[in-house]
Structure 1
């Protein structure tokens, strides 16, 4: 039995608290359509499920934010100065990321919750800036609530066919992940080429 099966069994047996706890560590795409189905069957309240799931997702993202905040910008900068060349990341790359966050952080934190893979990463620069705790939590909850509402309502609408949503979410997640990998790949190749030229 994998983690998702364990989670769905726990939600079916124990309801809201299990949904909230598992969404601290699992992606909402795995559980919110199922919660919507349970609401369709009258076993859970749809909007309470969405609220609890959003609180769990927000808690998970906030843990990452707090870890980044505890590490601190200076510690990360020091690590990049000493070891950055081994991971092909420079201190100037951090400056660029933090600069984008200072200009568009609200949209990135809220909108990033709708994007698999990116969802967890957006908490890190927010913690390094650091974006204020209240602002981060509020924006994270907003984005998470919007996405969980879509997933929960989809599961509710599909009813017993809720699992039919899974292939579409899988394609969506795969496309986003592939896009991220392509962008990272381009970055790595360009950085390797730049280092090779400098080494001559």
Structure 2
């Protein structure tokens, strides 16, 4: 996995970073915890600056949040709730989960979007209740940008500061990232199997 990510970045440069971060938000095949530190490390090779890496990761991630935001905005609370009723097992999301997410968003609003961008898995899902609540797009993008920039910058700087030391540990990165992905798949399958549907 690490080799695939590195090759894509080297071939496509900043666009490759943005593309990977976009996909990570739409359907997370590769975690940002692997993408951005590796991109930060590649910045030490001189092909692109660390600022370019941070901006590419942030823009790609932001673009990836928009489909979820517009899904929530188009369907509304009742529509997302019906989606959970119909496909809840595969989404591992029940109608009560939708209700709870909406209530949390009503209580915390803007801070939910900003802070949610700093929490793995929540980073993507927070876009749905923001859309459901019809949060103005400008506000959504502003607070998403702040949170996303902090997240991507921290991960990119970690890889950048490791510098040459990254080459010492990169042999361990691929098996570790593959293991993490396998664990996530197992967790998802477990949640699908043990999911309990609710009556409307």
1:97 is aligned to 2:95: no
1: distance between equivalents of 2:121 and 2:12? 28
Consecutive unaligned residues in structure 2, runs of 5 or more: 25-30
Matches within 5 A, 1:1-20: 2=1, 5-20=3-18
Change (3 A) 1:43 1:79: closer
Say whether the 8 Å CA contact 2:72–2:80 is kept in structure 1.
no
Q: Return the index of the structure with the highest Cα Rg.
A: 1
Question: Which residue matches 2:28?
Answer: none
C-alpha RMSD of matched pairs (Å): 3.3
Aligned residue among 139, 143, 153 for 1:139:
143
2: distance between equivalents of 1:6 and 1:134? 35
TM-score where L is the length of structure 2 = 0.72
Name the SS of the counterpart of 1:110 in structure 2. helix
Change (3 A) 1:158 1:103: same
TM-superposed CA distance for 1:71, in Å, is 2.0
TM-superposed CA distance for 1:24, in Å, is 0.2
TM-score where L is the length of structure 1 = 0.72
Q: For residues 110-153 of structure 1, what are the alpha-carbon distances to aligned partners after superposition, in whole Å with 9 as ceiling and x for unaligned?
A: 11222222222111111111222111111111111101111111
1: distance between equivalents of 2:97 and 2:115? 22
Matches within 5 A, 1:19-98: 19-26=17-24, 27-78=31-82, 89-90=94-95, 94-98=98-102
TM-superposed CA distance for 1:55, in Å, is 0.4
Change (3 A) 1:114 1:162: farther
Consecutive unaligned residues in structure 1, runs of 5 or more: 196-200
